[in-house]
Copies of this chain bind each other. A is one copy, B any other.
C-alpha cells in the first residue's frame, strides 16, 4: 500500500440541544462529507450530543483516538449555552486561555463594545491555533486533530474554506450512479455479485417509490476509476438485458 492508498478518516461531533430537540435540521454533515471527500478524507462516523460538558468530552475523546480528524460544529458563541471550548479543553486536560490574536480580531470588530460576553469568543484550549475566516470575527480553533467550527452553516463553510488544501488526505472516493425502475429486491443478486467481482468497490442500493412504482438508484463507489466504471457497466448492461431501460445517473 503506497502512502496515497492510505484511507484518511474523519468524525463529526455535532453539538447542540437544538439539533436533538428537532428544532433545527442539521445541514453541516452532508456538506462536510462532500468537502472532506474532495480533500481525500472519508467521513466515517458522526455523533450528535447535547449542550452537556460530559457528553461533549466523551464524544471528542472517543473520536480523536479513532479517526485521523475530528470536526465539531456548534457551541462556540458568546452565550452561556456555548460550552464547547470548556469541554474540549477538559477533554485534552488543558486550561482555557484567552488567545491574544483572537482578542485582537474581536477588538478590531467590536471596538469599545467588546464586552465580557463577546470576549468569550477569544477563549481557546491552551496550545490551540486559530482558523481565521473571512466571514466571522470569531475564528474557528484547532487543537491536536480536533477542528472546532461554528454551527451556523454559512460560518462553518467559511471556516472550511480557510482549511482548504491544508489537510493531509488520500485518494478521493469516486462514485457513479445507475438508476432503474425496478424494486431493489429483484436485483439483489446482481448487486451482490458485482461487489464480489470488484474488490475495493462498494455498491449501495437506494430504493424509493414514485407514482406507486418501485425505483432504485445503485451507487458504485471506489477510489479506483477503472474498477468503478467496470462495476457500473456490469450493473448497467445486466439491467438493460433484463429490459429495465436503466439510466446512467440518478433516476
A164 within 8 Å of B by Cβ? no
Contact residue among B21, B26, B44, B154 (Cβ-Cβ distance under 8 Å from A26): B26
**A77 vs chain B, min Cβ distance (A):** 6
State whether A208 and B17 are in contact (beta carbons under 8 Å apart), knowing that A117-B188, A185-B78, A192-B80 are contacts in the complex: no
Copies in the complex: 2
A6 within 8 Å of B by Cβ? no
**A170 vs chain B, min Cβ distance (A):** 15
Bound form: Cα–Cα A219–B23 in Å = 10
A37 cross-chain contacts in B, Cβ below 8 A: 21-22
A50 cross-chain contacts in B, Cβ below 8 A: 44-45
**Majority SS at the chain A contact face:** mixed
A188 cross-chain contacts in B, Cβ below 8 A: 78-80, 115, 117, 120
A203 within 8 Å of B by Cβ? yes
State whether A26 and B24 are in contact (beta carbons under 8 Å apart), knowing that A47-B45, A77-B207, A78-B185 are contacts in the complex: no
Known: A20-B33, A21-B33, A45-B49. 5 other contacts (CB 8 A): A22-B30, A23-B206, A46-B47, A47-B47, A115-B185
Residues of chain A at the chain B interface (Cβ within 8 Å): 17-27, 29-34, 37, 42-51, 55, 77-81, 115, 117-118, 120-121, 152, 154, 173, 175, 184-186, 188-189, 191-192, 195, 202-209, 219, 221
